[in-house]
Structure 1
Amino acid sequence: MAKEQRKSTASERREEVLFMLKNREDPITGRELADKVKVSRQVIVGDISLLKAKGEPIVATSQGYIYMTDKADSPPIERTIAVKHTPQETEKELTILVDHGVFIKDVTVEHPVYGDLTASVLIWNRRDVQKFLENIKETEASFLSELTDGIHLHTIAADSEEALDEALEALQREGILLKS
């Protein structure tokens, strides 16, 4: 007679989820995690929240969850920039940045009730830009910038000041960069 497989406890499931996150370089979606541990995506959302509350450096991005290690993944020189554009110009904005070798860490908008709302986007290249835009379209989600008439901030990073300067000049030429 075959031995019946014991169902894992919630604690064991969270340990398995944590193990998967720590052993992946690329983002993993909540749906993929849910399928692997045979629970709903909503259970995974709760598990991730509990893991974050315990201090695990898990970041939810537009491409899925990432376990942020201490290694210096992002380029060393960072800036925060203010931009304004329509939703239709999002691809142009992101493509300009990545084409200049710029990593886009996050997007922030100032909400009238909640204050600053920041979301990790972690966009490195054109493939990431396309994945991000496809995810927005497939989920029928809105861009955060739609809450603020197109005005938003990005934390960006690059290996040189020159790369950042050139990217900002290109955004300025397109009328996307807000001047101070």
Structure 2
Amino acid sequence: MKKMLGEERRLQLLAQLRNSHTPITGTDLAKFANVSRQVIVNDMTLLKARNEPIMATSQGYLYMHQEQLQQTVERTIPCLHSAEDTEDELVTIVDCGGTVKNVIVEHPIYGEITASLMVSNRHEVKAFVQRVNETQASYLSELTGGVHLHVISAPSASILDLIERSLLEKGYLITDKT
């Protein structure tokens, strides 16, 4: 297979992403374009700099189609729990109908650190937790004693309210009384 070059490659990658409604891994895109994964990382950075709505998620790259962006509401929710409760927290959110877009922590040296998650169902949560365990990585919230924010999207504000109530019941939601 011939190696794709520069702008032609980025246009082909963009077409691949636009035609998929599920994330595509950097490895799969690299195989498609016959380049290294690092070249794909650079290409995605260039495409995002052109305001293409590409999101790097824990499952791969995802093109955010306009209808996906318009049909949801978002809320930033403050949480506190141990690393052991991460999977339960994420499952609670997705079972209520939410998508966990990211996790944000406030680091004393680096300031705000944000990592994209984009988990919408139990399968994606399980895959995310499995990758963390396999790589022996730490959750970002471990840098802040378990304190973190999630940007959560859902089809309606009432679903976001349900998510907050569910997290509160489990003791994961930070409130004024916490």
Q: Normalization by structure 2: what TM-score?
A: 0.88
Percent sequence identity over aligned pairs: 48
Aligned to 1:171: 167
Q: 1:142 aligns with which of 123, 127, 138?
A: 138
Q: Does 1:61 align with 2:57?
A: yes
Cα shift at 1:6: 5.7
Which aligned pairs between 1:147-162 and structure 2 lie closer than 5 A? 147-162=143-158
- Determine which of 72, 91, 94 is the counterpart of 2:90: 94
Match of 2:13 in 1: 17
User: Given the superposition, is the C-alpha separation of residues 50 and 168 from structure 1 closer, same or farther in structure 2, using an over 3 Å criterion?
Assistant: same
The correspondence for 2:110, drawn from 111, 114, 139, is 114
Separation in structure 1 between the aligned mates of residue 148 and residue 63 of structure 2, nearest angstrom: 26
**More divergent stretch after superposition (20-29 vs 120-129):** 120-129
Show the counterpart of 1:131.
127
d(CA) in 2 for partners of 1:32 and 1:114? 32
Cα distance in 2 for partners of 1:75, 1:142 equals 33
Distance 1:125 1:6, change over 3 A: closer
What's 2:37 paired with? Answer: 41
Structure number with greater Rg is 1
Q: Calculate the TM-score normalised by the size of structure 1.
A: 0.87
One-letter code aligned to 1:35: K
SS at match of 2:66: coil
- For residue 105 of structure 1, give the secondary structure of its aligned residue in structure 2: strand
The alignment of Structure 1 onto Structure 2 pairs a total of residues equal to 176
The CA distance in 1 between the partners of 2:155 and 2:52, in whole Å, is: 28
